[in-house]
Amino acid sequence: MEKVFTIKKLNLKYGEKTALLDINMDIPKNEITALIGPSGCGKSTLLRTLNRMNDLIENCHVKGDIKYEGNDIFSKDFDVIDLRTNVGMVFQKPNPFPMSIFDNVAYGPRCQGVKDKKILQETVIQALKNAALYDEVRDRLKESAKELSGGQQQRLCIARAIAMRPDVILMDEPTSALDPIATAKIEDLILELKQKYTIVIVTHNMQQAARISDNTAFLLMGELIEYDKTDKIFSNPAKAKTEEYITGRFG
Amino acid sequence: MTYRTQFDSELDNLKLNLIRMSDLVIRNITDALHSFINMNSELAERIIKEDKLVNDFEYSIEKECMRIILREQPVAKDLRLITSVLKMITDLERIGDHAVDLSRLTVFMEKSEGNFNLPQIKLMIDVCEEMIRLALDSFVNKDINMAKEVIDKDDLVDDYFEEIKQLVVKAIKENNISADYSIYLMMAAKYLERIGDHAVNLAEWVIFSITGEHQ
């Protein structure tokens, strides 16, 4: 199993409040890893730590190691911009920029200095195709992204992440604001994306975790209670707490 | 605080219905075995009629399992329990069918001429009865050791079956048994051997519901 991230003894505090406690886990390449657990368990914090989004939060203190492709992401020499280029993120609520569909997807490559119109055109179209959105928007690339439906906006955000040519895509409850059909489309897309990218997804929907992920990590009050193959977690978890949570006995 | 109280009570109800079905099957099989030993065709006729109740139980429990899967989307121990119940009712129904088979044999044998007593049949009956009871108890008490005991006892049933086969063959060769009677006896022994196998299946599903591992 090839690992993209190796997490060792990760501890994170917001001020005095412990959010993550001694987390040890590996994220395998080209697999979907789901982070589950009740609200406030630390799953979104863990996700955001993987591309150092927590750096933006005041009073956030991190201890321990996270290695991305063997490199320590907290070392002084490590380029955070590079990390965030390689490790893209999709949020709970679709957040298209107030610009055209085309410009939304082209935004990242332009920031990276791509100016050639032909290259930009190709990058945008390919990203939209990979995000299973191109066929629906091919005739209105110049229209505002705000005109798209919620599900289309979320796929646009995925296309925007893909346009940066990342290795990993982090998804923080990407379907929680979507209806069942839009959710199904995103789930199909996630399974498709697995061929090219490593995906880490935070979800409150346990059926979703069971349907799409290869590995599932269960967190509770900042601790990693259990981390195993998804089939094992949902059929015969090793820990009683995991079983109580996934069977809906608490949470 | 515990959630899903309705789901929990549905699961309790499911277990209760499985126990009720098991009780009925145990009663039928015990009566069938005794009717067979004592050649009581009146009792045998009642068992044949009561098989419909066993089939009705299987149908209603199966329907309830499907409903729970649909409505509650169970996982982990809940899913294992429901899967086990779905498999166990099939074995219980088959045991019920064998109670009917044995009862039909009783009716035939009472009418047929000949008498050939084999103590091994009675011994086989006793082991089979005990295996079914133990399997049910292991389910109620979630007791893996009890379930394993059921699996171990099957060797005894198989040994008795082999012994009966040898004795019937010997009796045929020595002309001590009629053709009809020898066939009926072997059929009875085979039904008992199959009942032993179904009891083993029950025990294996009990173990699966507890451990998640099926042998």
Interface check A229 vs B, CB under 8 A: no
User: Which residues on chain B are in Cβ contact (under 8 Å) with A237?
Assistant: 76
CB contact under 8 A, B211 and A249: no
CB contact under 8 A, A236 and B212: yes
Please count the structural domains in chain A. 1
Confidence at residue A63, expressed as pLDDT on a 0 to 100 scale: 96
User: Which residues on chain A are in Cβ contact (under 8 Å) with B211?
Assistant: 236
User: Which of B5, B77, B84 has the highest number of chain A CBs within 10 A, making it the mutation to test binding with A?
Assistant: B77
Confidence at residue B40, expressed as pLDDT on a 0 to 100 scale: 84
Q: Which band of pLDDT confidence, cut at 50, 70 and 90, is reported for residue B114?
A: low
Confidence at residue B113, expressed as pLDDT on a 0 to 100 scale: 66
Q: Supply the range of the domain harboring residue A156.
A: 3-246
Whether residue A72 lies inside any domain: the answer is yes
Whether the pLDDT of residue B170 is over 80: the answer is yes
What's the ipTM?
0.75
Report CA-CA distances (Å) from B65 to B79, B111, B208: 10, 43, 17
Q: Supply the range of the domain harboring residue B26.
A: 5-211
Whether the pLDDT of residue B1 is over 60: the answer is no
CB contact under 8 A, B211 and A248: no
CB contact under 8 A, A235 and B1: no
- Residue pointed to by tokens 């332009």: A110
Report CA-CA distances (Å) from B135 to A131, B26, B162: 53, 11, 24
Confidence at residue B86, expressed as pLDDT on a 0 to 100 scale: 97
Question: Domain containing B100 — which CATH number?
Answer: 1.20.58.220
- Residue pointed to by tokens 């993550």: A20
CB contact under 8 A, B77 and A243: yes
Confidence at residue A6, expressed as pLDDT on a 0 to 100 scale: 98
Tens digits of residue pLDDT in A162-185: 999 999 999 999 999 888 888 998
Confidence at residue B45, expressed as pLDDT on a 0 to 100 scale: 87
Q: What percent of chain A has pLDDT over 90?
A: 92
User: Which residues on chain A are in Cβ contact (under 8 Å) with B75?
Assistant: 206, 210, 234-235, 246-247
Interface check A218 vs B, CB under 8 A: no
User: Which of B75, B80, B82 has the highest number of chain A CBs within 10 A, making it the mutation to test binding with A?
Assistant: B75
State the burial class of residue B142 (Cβ atoms within 10 Å of its Cβ: 0-12, 13-18, 19+).
exposed
Whether residue A123 lies inside any domain: the answer is yes
Whether the pLDDT of residue A21 is over 60: the answer is yes
Whether residue A113 lies inside any domain: the answer is yes
Confidence at residue B193, expressed as pLDDT on a 0 to 100 scale: 97
Interface check A243 vs B, CB under 8 A: yes
Confidence at residue B146, expressed as pLDDT on a 0 to 100 scale: 97
Interface check A24 vs B, CB under 8 A: no
| Chain A, nearest residue to B5 by Cα | A249
Cα dihedral: A227, A59, A81, A171 (round 10): 40
Whether the pLDDT of residue A61 is over 90: the answer is yes
| Chain B, nearest residue to A241 by Cα | B76
If you count them, how many residues does chain B have? 215
CB contact under 8 A, A247 and B2: no
The three state secondary structure string of B41-106 is HHHHHHHHHHHHHHHHHHHHHHHHHHHHHHHHCCCHHHHHHHHHHHHHHHHHHHHHHHHHHHHHHH
Whether residue A141 lies inside any domain: the answer is yes
Confidence at residue B176, expressed as pLDDT on a 0 to 100 scale: 87
CB contact under 8 A, A235 and B2: no
Question: Domain containing A12 — which CATH number?
Answer: 3.40.50.300
Please count the structural domains in chain B. 1
Tens digits of residue pLDDT in A92-135: 999 999 999 999 999 999 999 999 999 999 999 999 999 999 99
Q: Which band of pLDDT confidence, cut at 50, 70 and 90, is reported for residue B43?
A: confident
Over chain A, what is the mean pLDDT?
Answer: 95
What is the separation of C-alpha A198 from the centre of its chain, rounded to a whole number of angstroms? 9
Whether residue A251 lies inside any domain: the answer is no
Cβ contact A92:A145 at 8 Å: no
Interface check B70 vs A, CB under 8 A: no
Interface check B74 vs A, CB under 8 A: yes
Whether the pLDDT of residue B117 is over 80: the answer is no
Q: Which band of pLDDT confidence, cut at 50, 70 and 90, is reported for residue B181?
A: confident
| Chain A, nearest residue to B211 by Cα | A236
